[in-house]
C-alpha cells in the first residue's frame, strides 16, 4: 500500500497536476508536519471539555426553535429549520459576533462543491459566495468574541504556534460544518 497524502487535494482535482482554483485547506489538504501544527491548535480549541460545554446551549437553541415552529403548526423544514439551526449554533460556538446566515449557507454550498467537478453548480456556488468569503474573513479576529472556539484558536496565534492568517483560516474552517450540513439537504 502506498503513502496517502492529502496535500494533493481531497476532491477530484489533483493539486500536483493542476493549480488549485482556491487556496488549499490548512486542515484537510496538508500533510505532516504542517498538518500536525494546525491540527494541534484545533484540538486545543475543540477539547472534550469545550465541546461538552456546548451541549446545553445547543439543546436550548434547538428547544427554542422547535418550540416556535411547533407552535405555528406548519413550517418550511429547509428554510425555517435546516437553514436556521446550524447557522445559529455553529457561528455562536465559534464566537462570531455577526454573521450573514444566507452568505454562510452560500459559503457551505461553495465548500461542498469545491471537491467536485468544475461544473455549473460549482461556478454558481462560487459566484454567490466568493466575494463575501474574501471580504468577511480578511479581518476575522475583529469579529470574534472571547468565549468561542475562535478565541482559543487566536490564542494559538498569540502563543506563536500559528500565524494570525492561519488562525483566520482555521476559524473559517470551523464554520463549515454548519453550512455544509445545510447544503446537503
pLDDT in tens, 114-157: 888 888 988 888 888 877 777 766 567 778 899 899 999 999 99
Which CATH number belongs to the domain containing residue 139 in this structure? 1.10.630.10
User: Is 13 part of any domain?
Assistant: no
Domain assignment of residue 7, yes or no: no
Residue 103 has pLDDT above 90, yes or no: no
Query: Is 81 a domain residue?
Result: yes
Q: Does the residue 16 lie in any domain? A: no
Buried residues in 29-52 as b, exposed as e (16+ CB within 10 A)? bbeeeebeebeebbebbbeeeeee
Query: Looking at the 3D structure of the chain, how many domains does it have?
Result: 1
Read off the pLDDT of residues 15-35 as tens digits, 9 standing for 90 and up.
999 888 777 889 889 999 999
Q: Examine residue 153 and state whether it is found in any structural domain, yes or no.
A: yes
The model carries a pTM of 0.81
Q: Is residue 14 part of a domain?
A: no
110 is in which domain, residue-wise?
A: 34-183
Amino acid at each position: 500500500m502506498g503513502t496517502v497524502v492529502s496535500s494533493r487535494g481531497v476532491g477530484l482535482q489533483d493539486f500536483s497536476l493542476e493549480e488549485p482554483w482556491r487556496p488549499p485547506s490548512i486542515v484537510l489538504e496538508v500533510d505532516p508536519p504542517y498538518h500536525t501544527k494546525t491540527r494541534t491548535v484545533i484540538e486545543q480549541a475543540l477539547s472534550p471539555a469545550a465541546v461538552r460545554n456546548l451541549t446545553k446551549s445547543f439543546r436550548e437553541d434547538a428547544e427554542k426553535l422547535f418550540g416556535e415552529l411547533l407552535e405555528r403548526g406548519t413550517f418550511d423544514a429547509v428554510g425555517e429549520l435546516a437553514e436556521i439551526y446550524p447557522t445559529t449554533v455553529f457561528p455562536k460556538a465559534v464566537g462570531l459576533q455577526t454573521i450573514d446566515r444566507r452568505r454562510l449557507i452560500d459559503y457551505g454550498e461553495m465548500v461542498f462543491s469545491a471537491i467536485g467537478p468544475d461544473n455549473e453548480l460549482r461556478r454558481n456556488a462560487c459566484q454567490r459566495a466568493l466575494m463575501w468569503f474574501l471580504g468577511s474573513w480578511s479581518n476575522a479576529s475583529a469579529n470574534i468574541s472571547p468565549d468561542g472556539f475562535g478565541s482559543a484558536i487566536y490564542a494559538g496565534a498569540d502563543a506563536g504556534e500559528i500565524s494570525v492568517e492561519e488562525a483566520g483560516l482555521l476559524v473559517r474552517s470551523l464554520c463549515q460544518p454548519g453550512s455544509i450540513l445545510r447544503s446537503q439537504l
